[in-house]
Amino acid sequence: MNEAAKWTEYYSRLDSLMAPNEYLLKMLLGRYAGKVDLLGGASWRTAFRGRRVLDMSCGDGRNIVLLHKLGFDISATEISDEICDSVHRNLANSGIDLARDRLRTGSNAAVPFDSASFDFVISWNAVYYLDDESDTIDRALGEVARVLQPGGWFICSVPGPRCYSVLGAHPLGGSRVRLEPAVNADWGGGLQKDAIYHLFQDPAEVGHLLAPMFEPVQVSELHWDGFGVPLHYFIFAARRRPG
């Protein structure tokens, strides 16, 4: 089964709570305002109203619930038409009427929106998925930069090398790996096995890869023990350079 078919099957049986990610919430509400000033001094109650956001690879749509509450003008992608259909249904069931044509099918390597369409791009645990062994993270980051307006923000989470999902992964050269999860291997019915990731090594690599297109790049590292499941992520906010 290819990656799109695996994820389509996964979401077709997911009984979602549509609960947004805590750290994304904190970034948007300005809880880290000393470092990541997405609000420009304004209150979160008004700062995002009408701002154009793309939730790239939105999953079941859980973070869209938060983006809707904050007043964003929302678009999103996923990797199959069926997942986009299910996101549309999930949102309708949560009382959110998002036009179906705002949900488009595409991968990190080819984002189905025009250049400079967005003030914010969010990719929560998704930008590092590569289409195949010939794909590179530069394509995905180039796509993020392309669809962002100059001055727009990229808000992102990626796993680090001590995260359960990448333990035991086979190196493919560079920072690319093919997954063979050694801990929590049955998560999502074994969904992650054989996925190809760009594995960011440390905050410095995040900064280095984004620097040509983004300034500033602010990275935070999260590492904790999830009842025996090691969790390790880099979360970052990066501003699209002008021009």
Which residues of the shown chain bind ligand SAM in the complex (CB under 6 A)?
A: 3, 7, 21, 57-59, 62-63, 78-79, 107-108, 124-126, 129, 131
Beta carbon nearer to ligand SAM, 78 or 119: 78
Quickly count: other Cβ atoms within 10 Å of residue 86's Cβ. 21
Question: Cβ(49)–Cβ(40) under 8 Å?
Answer: no
- The full DSSP string for 33-86 is TTT---STTS-HHHHTTT-EEEESS-TTSHHHHHHHHTT-EEEEEESSHHHHHH
Cβ 174 to ligand SAM, closest distance in Å? 17
- The full DSSP string for 154-218 is EEEEEE-TTSGGGTTPEEEETTEEE---SSSTTGGGTTTTT-EEE---SHHHHHHHHTTTEEEEE
Beta carbon nearer to ligand SAM, 3 or 119: 3
Beta carbon nearer to ligand SAM, 80 or 149: 80
Cβ 74 to ligand SAM, closest distance in Å? 13
Cβ 41 to ligand SAM, closest distance in Å? 28
What is residue 243's DSSP assignment? -
CA distance 99 to 68: 13
Report which residue's Cβ sits closest to ligand SAM.
Answer: 59
Beta carbon nearer to ligand SAM, 191 or 213: 191
CA distance 191 to 106: 19
Cβ 152 to ligand SAM, closest distance in Å? 18
Structure-token match 């289409």, residue found: 131
Cβ 82 to ligand SAM, closest distance in Å? 11
Strand duo 52-55 + 118-124: pairing:
parallel
Cβ 112 to ligand SAM, closest distance in Å? 11
Beta carbon nearer to ligand SAM, 19 or 204: 19
Beta carbon nearer to ligand SAM, 7 or 164: 7
Cβ 7 to ligand SAM, closest distance in Å? 4
Beta carbon nearer to ligand SAM, 119 or 131: 131
Q: Which helix (H) or strand (E) holds 136?
A: none
SS3 assignment, position 95: coil
> Residues 215, 20, 2, 201: what is their CA dihedral angle, to the nearest 10 degrees?
40
